[in-house]
Amino acid sequence: MVMELSEKEKRAGIVPDHDIDMYMK
């Protein structure tokens, strides 16, 4: 559920780097 939201926000550049790191790992 969070992954989907973060994906869209990540593309928009709204999600912090540390959050994106969590998804990568």
**Tokens linked to 3:** 């992954």
For residue 25, what pLDDT is reported?
60
Rg (CA), the chain: 8
Amino acid letter for position 14? I
Query: Model pTM?
Result: 0.24
pLDDT range class, residue 7, cuts 50, 70, 90:
confident
For the cut 60, the answer to whether the pLDDT of residue 1 exceeds it is no
Provide the 3-class DSSP secondary structure of residue 23.
Answer: helix
∠ at Cα 2 (9, 22), nearest 5°?
80
pLDDT in tens, 8-18: 777 776 666 66
Higher pLDDT, 19 or 8: 8
